[in-house]
Amino acid sequence: DTEVTQTPKHLVMGMTNKKSLKCEQHMGHRAMYWYKQKAKKPPELMFVYSYEKLSINESVPSRFSPECPNSSLLNLHLHALQPEDSALYLCASSPSQGFYGYTFGSGTRLTVV
């Protein structure tokens, strides 16, 4: 299995909703990432987990809450989002040592209404 799987593919949520994005990989990668990509912009790093521990938080607002329950799973919990948070959310993984095989998932297209 050489894929990073993200669910759901599309999500529409209200500003008072609580939802979660899910990311899964079975490549034995020990580093996992959340990126946010606005239209016609490059991906921007949000969080990095290395060996299931949060190693980088790029000053992301607390309405985004990451979670890494095990080495294969990465979640992003969403609460009280704003319309400007609408974007493509990309998950990626890589081997923690060395940098070969940085793989992106197909993303979740999030719309906040």
Partner 1 sequence: EDKVVQSPLSLVVHEGDTVTLNCSYEVTNFRSLLWYKQEKKAPTFLFMLTSSGIEKKSGRLSSILDKKELFSILNITATQTGDSAVYLCAVEGIQGAQKLVFGQGTRLTINP
Interface positions with partner 1 (CB under 8 A): 4, 31, 40-45, 48, 50, 55-56, 88, 90, 94, 96, 99-100, 102-107
| Least spacing, CB of residue 21 vs partner 1, in Å | 14
* Residues comprising the chain, all counted: 113
Residues paired with residue 15 on neighbouring β-strands, in sequence order = none
**Residue closer to partner 1 (CB basis): 17 or 52:** 52
Q: CB of residue 42 vs partner 1: minimum separation in angstroms?
A: 4
Least distance to partner 1 from the beta carbon of 13, Å? Answer: 19
Comparison of 14 and 58: residue with beta carbon closer to partner 1: 58
DSSP codes, 4-68: EEEE-SEEEE-TT-EEEEEEEE-S---EEEEEEE-TTS--EEEEEEETTEEEEE-S--TTEEEEE
